Structure 1
Amino acid sequence: MSGHANVSPVLAIPGADPKLYNHDLAPVAPAGRTWGVFDIFAMWMSDVHSVGGYTFAASLFFLGLTGWEVLLAMAIGITAVYFLMNLIGGPSLKYGTPFPVVARMSFGVMGANLAASLRGIVGIVWYGVQTFFASKAVQVLVLTFYPAAEALTHSSFLGLSALGWFSFLFMWLFQLLIFLNGMETIRKFIDFCGPAVYLVMFALAIWILAQTGLSSLSLQLGPGGEGSAIGQMANAAMLIVAYFAALLLNFGDFARFAENERAMKVGNFLGLPVNFIVFAIITVIVTAGTVKVFGEAIMDPVSIVERIGNPWVVALGAVTFIVATMGINIVANFVSPAYDISNLYPEKIDFRRGGLITSILSVLVCPWIFVSSPQAITIFVGVFGAALGPMFGIMIADYYLVKRQHVVLEDLYTMSKDGSLHFQGGWNRRALIALAIAGSISIGLSLLGAYGVIIHVGDWGWLIGATLGALLYTALMRSLKAPSLSRSSATA
C-alpha cells in the first residue's frame, strides 16, 4: 500500500525489524485516526445487515420462547458483545496497531503468526462463502432481465454452471476493486452499505404492514418450547456472542482508526445493542407478515422480494443483497486475513497484496462445494470457531491482567532478545500451552456434542474456551520472572 494515494499516516518505529514491520502493520498516527462515531456505527450495520444476519435474527424467534423473552435474551447477549468488543478494541485504540500486532503482546513477536493464521483461515473460507452467496443474487438479477441466460445453467465445471462461474467471478472482481483501494475507501463504502440496507428493510416492512395491517406486529413466531425458559434465554444470549466470535478477535483492525475512545464506545453502542435489536424487530415484522401474505414464514429476504413478482423490486432486492454481502465481507472476512497474511511476510506482503492473496485463496476453497456439505461446515465451525474463544481469553487476560495495559510499543517490532515480547525465540510457550489445552477442550466438547457422544454444549463452547484460556494463561504467566515483563510494566 505504500505510495498509494489511499494510505493512512503511520508512526515510524526506529530500528523496527523488517520481518515485523511495514506501512500497514505500523501504528496509525493521530492524523490517520479518522473514524468517528458514525463510521464505527456503519461498520456494525454492514456486519449485521446481511442475509445471514437477517436469517440469524429471525431464527431466534423460533426457539420456542415468547417474543419478549427473545428480546430480553438478545439485549443481554448483544450487551455482553458490546463490552467484550470494547475490551478487545482497547489495545488497538491505544497503540494504533492491527490484530496480528496486538497478538504479539501475548503470543510473542513470532508466535502471533499462529494466532493470525487461525483467524485468517476462518476469514478466507467465509469470504469465499459470502462471495458465492452474493453471486447467487447476481444470477437472479441476470435471469430476471435476460431469461435466455437460462441456457448457461445446463452445463457445469467443478460443480458450478457457466452462469454460476460468470456471476461468482463478477462478484469476486467487483469486491476486489473496492477492497484494494485501502482502508479509507473501505470506510466510505461501509458508510453507504449499512444505511442502504436499512432503507430497503424499512420499505419491505412498510409493504408487509400495508398488506397485513398492524395485526402482523407479533413477536411470537414459534410454538412454546419445552424446558426452562431461563435456560433457553441463556442459550439464545450465548448464540449471539458466538455469532460475533470472529470479530471478537480482530475488531482492533477497525478500532485502531477510531478518533478516540468515545468514538469507539459510542459507535459500538449504537452499532451493537441499538442497531442489532432494531434490525431484529424489523426482521420479525417482515417474517411474521410473510405468514399472512404468502402462507408461510420466509426467512430469506431475497425470496420475499422474488415472490412480489415485480422485476424492478427483484432487482432492488438483489442489488441490496449484493451490497449487504459486500459490507459483511469487508468487515468480517476481508480486512482480517489481509492484515494476517501481511503479518506472515511484512517485507514482501502489504495490506493490498494480503487482500489479493485472500481473494485468490477464497476461490480455491470452492465455497459452493463447501456449503453443500453440512458435515464440512459442522467440522469447520467446530474446530476453528472453538479455537477463537481461547485466543480471545488469552489476549484479554494478557493485556488487562498480566501487562496491566502497558506495553513497550517498540518491542512489538523488534527481534532483539532483550525485547519484552521476544520470549523464547519470538514464541511465548506459555500462551501456546494455554491455547493448546483450552482449545483442545473447547474443540473436543464442540465436536463430541455435535455428534451426540456427550451432552451438546451448543454455543457455550466459545465461553468455555475463552474462560479456560484466560485462567490458564494468567496462571502460567505468574511463573514468568523479570526481566521479561519488567520493561513493559515500567513503560506506559
Structure 2
Amino acid sequence: MGIRGLLKRLEVKPTDDEFESIETSRWGNKDVYPIPHDKRTYGWLAFYAYWGTCGISLSSWTIGSSLIGIGLTAGQACAVVVIGCIIASLSAYLNGAPGAIHHLGYGTLARAAFGLWGSYFVVMLNVFQSFIFYGTQMYFGGMAFVIILNSIFPSFLALPNTLPDNAGITTPQLIGFVLFIILYFPVIYFIPPHVVQRYLIANLVVSSATLLGIMGWAVHANGGAGDLVAPAIKVPPSQIGFLMVQGITSIAGTYTGGSDRVSDWTRYARSRHAPTLAQLTALPLTVTLVALIGIITTSATAQMFGEVQWNPVIMLQSIQQSYYTAACRAGTFFAGLGLLSVTVFINYTQNCVSSGMDVAMLVPRWVSRRRGSIIFSILGVLANPWRFLTQASTFITVLSSFGVFLSPAASILVVDFWIVRKCKWNIPDLYSPGGIYWFYNGLNWRAFTAYILGMVWALPGFVMAVGGPIVSDSWYHLFQV
C-alpha cells in the first residue's frame, strides 16, 4: 500500500446519520458539521453540570489567594468574584448562541469572522492556552492520586524520592501522574461529549460534597474559621478601587477562557434556550461559593498549622504527614477521590476534548474529535507538565497575561455573530473555499485589523511585565485591567 492509499484509509469516515451524504473534506468531517438530532442530548441540568464542573474546581478554590495577595479583604474578594463571574456569564451567553442556534462549534464561529484560513490563528490561540492548563490539571490529578495512595499504603507515604532535584517532580508524584494517565485516557476515548453529561452531574455532587467536607473538617478541627485570612499587604484606601477593577478583569479573564469556546458544547443542546439559565447563573453561584470555601478553609488551617496553604491538594498531603490516624486516612482517601473526579472532568470539558474539537477543525480530513483529543493529550504528557509549575516567573506571567491576545479575538467573534451577521449564517459556505466566508484568499483583513487595534494598547505593559523596558504607570495600568 502506497502513502496515498494509507492516507485514504486514515481519513475520517462519515457516520450513519442525516449528514452521511456529506463526505469528509479538507474543511469538514462528522465532528465539524452541525450536530445531528440524535446527539442533541443536553437539557438545562446538563448545562448546570457543565458550568458547575467549571466553577467547582481547584482554580476557584485558590482564587482567593490572588485577590487577598494584592491587598483585598475577604469581603472585597467575594464581591470581585461575583462581578467578574457575571461578566464571564454574559460572555458565555453571547458565545454560546451559535451552538444553540446552528449546532456548530467554536471553529465555525471563527471561520465566519476571520475567514477559513484566518480562523486557524484564533483556534490556535485557544489550543495553546488549553495546552498549558491541561498540563497543570494533569499534574494536580497525579497529586490527587498521591493522596489516595498515601491513605491506603503507609509505605507509600514514606516512599523516598529517587529522582534528581532538577527533574521537577518526586518519585511519588511521578507514580501518581502515570496512574492519572492510565485513568484519564480511557475516559476521553470511550466517553463522547453527547453522553458525558450524566458523568458531569455525578461529578457535581461528588465535588460539592468533597469541598464542603474539607471545609467542615478544617473549621471543626480548628474550633472556628480563624481570622478569614487578613489582606497579605496593606494598601492605601485610594488604591482599593483600582485593585478591585484589576481583580474583576482577572476573574472575568480566567473564566471567559471557557466561555469563549462554549459553543462547542451548546451545540449539543436539545433546544435553543436549554443553556441560557445555566450560562447566566451557574458561574457566579459556584465560583463565589467555592472561593469562599477556600478562604474559610485556608483561614482555619493557617491558624492550626501556622502557615497559609491555598492549594487543597498540598494541604491534604501536609495533613497526612502530621495526622496519620485511621480517621485521617479514611477522610483523605475520600477527599482524594473527590479531587480526582474534579480534575478529570474539568480537564475533559475545559481543556482536552474542547481542544480535540478545535484540532479537528484544523485538519478535518484526517482528525476527528476523538483523534484530536488523543493527540492533544499525548503531547501534553510529553511536555512534562509539572515543569509548567516550576518555570521562571516570566513564563508564568506570560501565561496569566494571555488574555491580552485572546480577549480581542473573542470580542470580534461576538460582534460579528450578533451585530454583523445578526445571528444568521450561510452554513454551506462555512465549508466552501470561494464562499462568502472566504473573504480575501481565506483571510478577513478587517477582522485582523480590528484584532490589532484591540490588542496593541496592552502590549507596552505586557512587555514590561515579562522583563522588557519600563513604561509609564498609565500604560502598565492599562495592561493590568
Q: By the TM > 0.5 criterion, same fold? A: yes
2:74 maps to which of 52, 62, 67: 67
5+ residue gaps, structure 2, are 1-10
Partner of residue 97, structure 2: 90
Contact 1:93/1:261 (8 A) holds in 2: yes
Partner of residue 166, structure 1: 175
Partner of residue 430, structure 1: 446
Distance in 2 (CA, whole Å) between partners of 1:299 and 1:122 is 23
**Gap change, CA 1:122 and 1:215, over 3 Å in 2:** closer
Contact 2:88/2:253 (8 A) holds in 1: no
Percentage of matched positions with identical amino acids: 20
1:357 maps to which of 361, 375, 385: 375
Partner of residue 255, structure 1: 266
**Gap change, CA 1:458 and 1:88, over 3 Å in 2:** farther
TM-score normalised by structure 1 residue count: 0.84
**Gap change, CA 1:234 and 1:13, over 3 Å in 2:** farther
Aligned residue type for 1:423: F
Does the alignment pair 1:267 with 2:278?
A: yes
Aligned residue type for 1:180: Y
Per-residue Cα deviation, 1:366-424 (whole angstroms, up to 9, x for no partner): 21223211335335416743211111011112112222222111111222x2x211112
Aligned residue type for 1:392: A
Aligned residue type for 1:65: L
Contact 2:163/2:170 (8 A) holds in 1: yes
Does the alignment pair 1:447 with 2:458?
A: no
Partner of residue 218, structure 2: 208
Match runs of 1:28-427 below 5 Å: 28-149=35-156, 153-155=161-163, 160=169, 163-181=172-190, 182-213=192-223, 216=226, 218=228, 222=232, 224-226=234-236, 227-306=238-317, 307=319, 308-309=323-324, 310-375=328-393, 377-378=395-396, 380-381=398-399, 384-415=402-433, 417=434, 419-427=435-443
1:347 aligns to what SS in structure 2?
A: coil
**Gap change, CA 1:133 and 1:66, over 3 Å in 2:** closer
- How far apart are residue 87 of structure 1 and its match? 0.7
Distance in 2 (CA, whole Å) between partners of 1:299 and 1:189 is 28
* Aligned-CA RMSD value: 3.0
- How far apart are residue 59 of structure 1 and its match? 3.6
Distance in 2 (CA, whole Å) between partners of 1:297 and 1:81 is 29
Distance in 1 (CA, whole Å) between partners of 2:135 and 2:76 is 35
Q: Greater relative contact order (Cα 8 A, min sep 6): structure 1 or 2?
A: 2
Contact 2:135/2:380 (8 A) holds in 1: yes
Partner of residue 27, structure 2: 20
- How far apart are residue 450 of structure 1 and its match? 4.3
5+ residue gaps, structure 1, are 464-492
Aligned residue type for 2:369: F
- How far apart are residue 442 of structure 1 and its match? 3.4
Partner of residue 481, structure 1: none
Tell which deviates more after alignment, 275-284 or 287-296: 287-296
Tell which deviates more after alignment, 249-258 or 259-268: 259-268
Distance in 2 (CA, whole Å) between partners of 1:245 and 1:446 is 19
**Gap change, CA 1:241 and 1:196, over 3 Å in 2:** same
Aligned residue type for 2:208: Y
What number of residue pairs does the alignment pair up?
458
Distance in 2 (CA, whole Å) between partners of 1:161 and 1:449 is 31
**Gap change, CA 1:187 and 1:460, over 3 Å in 2:** farther
- How far apart are residue 204 of structure 1 and its match? 2.2
- How far apart are residue 53 of structure 1 and its match? 2.2
